[in-house]
Structure 1
């Protein structure tokens, strides 16, 4: 008999798949999700499927799914996001742990977030990433939000014209997914997937989902920020492609269309690079120089802060003679 989950060694960052090497998302429904060794299993009337947990970016659990404690344990240990989704509205819950043990990025995120001017600079850089033809330098919050709204509305109109789908306006009832027309249901399904992917990447990099630069006040504000970077380029086109084929299984076809676009474009690698780019100006000089590595080469060694805004190695006691 194999070791129990409690006695198996914890996975290390070196032993886990890079975010960019993972499947962007996997959707399961009407099955029981459990664990066997370091894989999860999905069991339904047709049999058992084995899925290596470290290859998943985010797992979307649809209607009729049940998941065991052991499965959640290995998914969290592997840094995979887990999102419950429903047929009527978005039911969202995510879990996981960072693939890095370094706090470098979340410290940089907090540094940028805590300074009003820096927070606006990050918001402007996000706008630049979304719309490369724009120059947001000097734009106010109102101008950024107004410009974003106009461009997203234009994207809806352009995709409707490209696909021949009738589009009136964006409508979404959080309590009733079926209340929207076919293209609105498709847009909602695409957004649901992008939020899951963004949450998975944010958590895997050790960042805080809550500290947003455009969105604010929500436990997933930064997740929404990151997901919106890819709404126009990935989410909206996939949604309209699916809507153009008709209303049948619109959520499922949207997920498949979006997943193919994500795979072809290497979106997970891009999301990692974009987050690192956004936060790079705010990383500590000593942490950046160390690359987030401890003295023994492991990822994210614990260090102690000094009075001079530096750090010294942890794991030892310092007397009064120490340099602080």
Structure 2
């Protein structure tokens, strides 16, 4: 007699929350994570709480977190992104299987990034999203980078003037978080939260984090591309506002993450990210929803999967 599986059964794809409807992220530290049916059980010194895995977008795991194999199994089944956040700002990234199980966006992304003309077109589209009033259709990559650099410098100066937080330049040591100034520590924490959410959306929709259009050569190139669309609106203003209020707080990183979480929710950023990602890759809003496997043929196009094919003649007949 087969042994009955403990806990809830593995959820079907249609039972999982769509990425645009999920909670943006949850940060945990000094806790033990296990699985309770279809929820992640979190145990710390304050007690036990169960979090529905299917309603989270990304889980940020800080120092002192222990995770069981059963919890990671659930995370993978739910298409939940995981960002391991180490001490002093060192990060490692991981993620579960793509939520929609479709390669449609990945194939579109690979096609666009593999052609110089279409790659430049997507890069211009990303810059156009940040400069809606400007015509960038004829600008080169060098001109686009210069325009973006000037824009970011101005954003820093404007936020410094708005909040009264002194600003010189962006500087940080990725191996020593505490060595930075309060504003630089806040910016690092804010950008990392944005990177985590960007990474989760890209992965959940089945696109590649490594196939960037502006950034290249890194396994997170497209994460940096995508996150740059929202820095001037989210992470930079939030970092300056938090520094204005908590400049002397030794835990400014935690305060920044909480502020970013609230900004993501208030701005409905997940919904916007899903729409923007599909638009950048030239897909309709409902693209990539179907869970279909086909066989590729160089002459006949897509063929049915799961069919026993006999040897074919050159004219395609059996």
Q: TM-score when scaled to structure 1? A: 0.90
1:314 partnered with 2:315: no
Question: Counterpart of 1:253?
Answer: 255
Q: Secondary structure at the match of 2:156?
A: helix
Question: Counterpart of 1:105?
Answer: 105
Question: Counterpart of 2:164?
Answer: 164
Cα distance, 1:82–1:133 mapped onto 2, change above 3 Å = same
Cα distance, 1:256–1:2 mapped onto 2, change above 3 Å = farther
Cα distance, 1:219–1:69 mapped onto 2, change above 3 Å = same
Question: Counterpart of 2:212?
Answer: 212
Q: How does 1:10-29 map to 2 (within 5 A)?
A: 10-29=10-29
Shift of 1:93: 1.9
Q: Using the alignment, how far apart are the partners of 2:108 and 2:298 within structure 1? A: 19
Q: Using the alignment, how far apart are the partners of 2:72 and 2:178 within structure 1? A: 30
Question: Counterpart of 1:296?
Answer: none
Q: Using the alignment, how far apart are the partners of 1:158 and 1:169 within structure 2? A: 13
RMSD: 2.1
Q: Using the alignment, how far apart are the partners of 1:230 and 1:195 within structure 2? A: 10
Q: Secondary structure at the match of 1:92?
A: strand
Cα distance, 1:176–1:277 mapped onto 2, change above 3 Å = same
Shift of 1:9: 4.2
Shift of 1:236: 0.5
Would you say the 8 A contact 1:94–1:199 is kept in 2? no
Q: TM-score when scaled to structure 2? A: 0.92
Would you say the 8 A contact 2:205–2:288 is kept in 1? no
Structure 1, unmatched stretches of 5+, are: 294-298
Structure 2, unmatched stretches of 5+, are: none
Would you say the 8 A contact 2:98–2:205 is kept in 1? yes
